[in-house]
């Protein structure tokens, strides 16, 4: 089994372009719905809080079935009956959990709204069910995309993402202008558009695989997924707890600015997920064929993934800043100054992801619970201490601390479980040097009121210089093979 570099780059390009479509459309519609007489910082802060609900529902309804179907597909792919039971059972279990969540939300609707301080958020019935439906749809659509990616059914993957991007964005614009000029109209559009795609996925699955709910397979899936679900809940806390702290501190405007920057970052992350979507199945295939025999191929793929992540970050920083500066009119445009420090954290996130692949494949998922519980406690503690004084910079510091704990811990865990000896310069030292340089430049920017474009340009130069030093041999080989 050989590593096909040309095929890898081909799939990477396809997955990146397709994965970029839904967030790309979100970038197009945001300036349309933003403005003095449209949505402003407070509206975006309310969208950010509703995303807490959506993401929690997504996490619980999904129950880590995206990871489970990606792993168990290789156990059932050669047996049609087993494959049909697996796919139908996974999607039906997501739907079942989603219906339970909707029922519980209706029972406790008054208590949920009382958590928040903004009057619009206290009226949970006006927006909460929409946020829940979006979360359920997201779980179904993401699981289907993970399956199609592992099967290398590129056309299905493209069709799903194309439909989701166009329908969701289109209905969001309709919702804001024709349903309600507020965050509620945006949620209504998102729920409507994503429901069309998720219902289509379910109908197609039931037609091709039948309506199955195999308890034997489900028990095995749940045993694999439960530690990952605990990890996902912890990650939800790490990624979204800061919004509670900012909302409780009555920093709605700051929260709105941060949410816009975070939204741009999430859109960018979808592009990175496209690259990861090309990498993860290949790494699993090499591990399935024999980890010891294919260690070098696994390391090569991992190095490529981290390098591609850094290149995309460098290429995206300035355009994202310009986009916010030029096309937004309210105070949310101030989010452009946060882009660099938020984007660079994806380097640490990718390190953690790479080191976790072997742990996933070996089904040693208990380690996720241990490491991420500690990361969550660090995140919550830092948010509690820093947000009242540093606002969104306290959030950013807490996020970096949690990600660093995860990345460093799983570096050592992966070495223990897989025996892979990672290239420390490529996987640890140089990437963390970039992160520390970005943090230092962010501090200098604030301390001396330096133009954000200057410090961001320096970060881009540091990233590209680092890559040219680390990968000069690989760059020369690729140029010689594919250009000459």
328 and 207 together in one domain: no
State how far the Cα of 153 lies from the Cα of 370, in Å rounded to an integer: 35
- Please indicate, yes or no, if residue 18 is contained in any of the structural domains: no
pTM: 0.79
Residues 154 and 194 in one domain: yes
278 and 201 together in one domain: no
- What angle (nearest 5°) sits at the alpha carbon of residue 272, between those of residues 478 and 311? 45
Determine, yes or no, domain membership for 223. no
Q: Look at residue 82 in the predicted model and tell me its pLDDT.
A: 78
What are the phi and psi torsion angles at 180 (to 5°)? -160, 125
Residue finishing a domain among 213, 233, 265 = 213
Number of domains in the chain: 2
- In this structure, are 162 and 64 located in the same domain? yes
Helices 183-209 + 41-62 axis angle, to 10: 20
| Structural domain boundaries enclosing 321 | 1-10+243-484
**Residue 61, SS3 per DSSP:** helix
Residues 197, 247: one domain? no
Structural domain contains residue 418:
yes
Residues 57 and 76: their CA atoms lie apart, in Å, by: 28
Q: Count Cβ atoms below 10 Å from residue 245 Cβ, excluding itself.
A: 20
Nearest to 233 by CA among 56, 97, 354, 371: 56
- pLDDT tens-digit readout, 29-44: 988 999 888 898 889 8
Residue 162, domain member (yes or no): yes
Question: Alpha-carbon distance 409 to 355, whole Å?
Answer: 9
Which residues of the chain are under the pLDDT cut of 70? 1-9, 11-12, 74, 76-78, 250, 474-475, 477-484
How far is C-alpha 290 from the geometric centre of its chain's CA atoms? 29
Asked if the structure places residue 198 within a domain, the reply is yes
- Per-residue pLDDT tens over the stretch 206-246: 999 899 888 888 888 888 888 778 878 887 887 787 787 88
Between the CA atoms of 27, 32, 36 and 40, what dihedral angle is there, to the nearest 10 degrees?
Answer: -40
Same domain, 205 and 262: no
Question: Is residue 4 domain-shared with residue 39, that is, in the same domain?
Answer: no
Q: How far apart are CA 447 and CA 195, in angstroms?
A: 47
DSSP summary character for residue 117: S
Cα–Cα distance measured from residue 27 to residue 49, given in angstroms and rounded to the nearest whole number: 19
Token pair in block for residue 252: 């709605």
Same domain, 173 and 45: yes
The residue from 191, 213, 235 where one domain ends is 213
- Structure confidence by residue, pLDDT tens digits, 382-425: 999 998 888 889 999 999 999 999 999 999 999 999 889 999 99
Separation of alpha carbons 261 and 465, rounded Å: 26
Q: Which residue among 169, 196, 213 closes a domain?
A: 213
My answer on whether 131 and 183 are in the same domain is: yes
Residue 404 in contact with residue 351, Cβ under 8 Å? Answer: no
**What residues are paired with 39 via a beta bridge?**
34
Indicate the helix (H) or strand (E) that contains 7.
helix 5-33
456 is a domain residue: yes
Contacts of the segment 17-22: beta carbons below 8 A, 24+ positions apart: 17/274, 18/157, 18/158, 18/161, 18/162, 18/274, 19/161, 19/270, 19/271, 19/273, 19/274, 19/277, 20/270, 20/271, 20/274, 21/161, 21/162, 21/165, 22/161, 22/164, 22/165, 22/168, 22/169, 22/270
Residue 138 tokens read as 């997201």
pLDDT of residue 319: 95
Q: What's the Cα-to-Cα distance from 25 to each of 22, 54, 181, 191, rounded to whole Å?
A: 5, 20, 19, 16
Residues 58 and 5 in one domain: no
Domain identity same for 411 and 484 = yes
From 227, 201, 219, select the one nearest 147 (Cα to Cα).
201
Comparing C-alpha atoms, which of 124, 130, 120 is closest to residue 109?
124
Mention every residue, 6+ apart, whose C-beta is less than 8 A from residue 417: 358, 359, 362, 364
- Nearest one of 272, 307, 316 to 469, comparing CA atoms: 307
**Burial (CB count within 10 angstroms: exposed 0-12, middle 13-18, buried 19+), residue 162:** middle
Asked if the structure places residue 94 within a domain, the reply is yes
225 inside domain: no
What's the pLDDT at 422? 92
The DSSP line for 181-225 is TTHHHHHHHHHHHHHHHHHHHHHHHHHHH-S---HHHHHHHHHHH
CB-based contact 132:101 (threshold 8 Å) = yes
Contact 82/76 with Cβ under 8 angstroms?
A: yes
Count of CB atoms situated within 10 Å of the CB of 442 = 22
d(CA 456, CA 315): 11
63 and 196 in a common domain: yes
């Amino acid at each position: 089994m050989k590593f096909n570099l040309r095929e890898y780059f081909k799939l990477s390009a396809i997955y990146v372009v397709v994965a970029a479509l839904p967030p790309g459309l979100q970038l197009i519609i945001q300036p349309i719905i933003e403005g003095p007489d449209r949505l402003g910082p407070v509206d975006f802060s309310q969208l950010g809080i509703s995303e807490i609900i959506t993401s929690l529902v997504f996490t619980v309804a999904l129950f880590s079935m995206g990871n489970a179907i990606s792993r168990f597909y290789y156990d059932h792919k050669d047996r049609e009956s087993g494959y049909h039971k697996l796919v139908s059972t996974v999607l039906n279990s997501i739907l079942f959990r989603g219906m339970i969540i909707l029922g519980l939300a209706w029972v406790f609707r008054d208590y949920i709204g009382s958590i928040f301080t903004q009057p619009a958020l206290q009226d949970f019935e006006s927006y909460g069910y929409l946020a829940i439906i979006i979360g359920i749809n997201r779980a179904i659509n993401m699981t289907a995309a993970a399956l199609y990616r592992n099967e290398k059914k590129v056309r299905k993957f493209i069709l799903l993402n194309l439909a989701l991007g166009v329908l969701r964005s289109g209905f969001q614009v309709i919702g804001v202008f024709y349903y309600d000029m507020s965050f509620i109209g945006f949620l209504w559009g998102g729920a409507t558009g994503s429901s069309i795609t998720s219902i289509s996925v379910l109908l197609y699955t039931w037609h091709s695989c039948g309506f199955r709910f195999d308890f034997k397979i489900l028990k095995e899936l749940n045993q694999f997924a439960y530690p990952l679900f605990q990890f996902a809940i912890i990650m939800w806390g790490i990624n979204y707890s800061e919004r509670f702290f900012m909302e409780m501190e009555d920093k709605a405007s700051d929260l709105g600015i941060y949410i816009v920057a975070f939204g741009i970052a999430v859109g960018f992350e979808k592009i990175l997920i496209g690259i990861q979507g090309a990498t993860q199945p290949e790494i699993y295939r090499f591990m399935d064929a024999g980890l010891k025999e294919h260690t070098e191929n696994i390391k090569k793929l991992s190095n490529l993934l981290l390098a591609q992540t850094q290149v995309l970050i460098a290429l995206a920083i300035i355009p994202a800043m310009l986009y916010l500066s030029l096309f937004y009119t309210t105070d949310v445009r101030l989010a452009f100054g946060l882009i660099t420090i938020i984007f660079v954290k994806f380097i640490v996130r990718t390190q953690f992801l790479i080191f976790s692949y072997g742990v996933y494949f070996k089904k040693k998922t208990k380690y996720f619970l241990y490491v991420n519980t500690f990361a969550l406690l660090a995140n919550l503690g830092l948010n509690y201490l820093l947000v009242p004084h540093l606002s969104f910079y306290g959030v950013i510091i807490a996020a970096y601390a949690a990600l660093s704990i995860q990345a460093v811990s799983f570096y050592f865990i992966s070495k223990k479980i897989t025996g892979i000896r990672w290239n420390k310069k490529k996987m640890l030292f140089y990437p963390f040097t970039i992160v520390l340089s970005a943090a230092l430049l962010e501090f200098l920017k604030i301390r001396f009121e330096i133009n954000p474009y200057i410090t961001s340009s320096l970060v881009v130069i540091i990233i590209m210089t680092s890559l040219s030093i680390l990968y000069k041999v690989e760059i020369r080989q690729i140029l010689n093979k594919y250009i000459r």
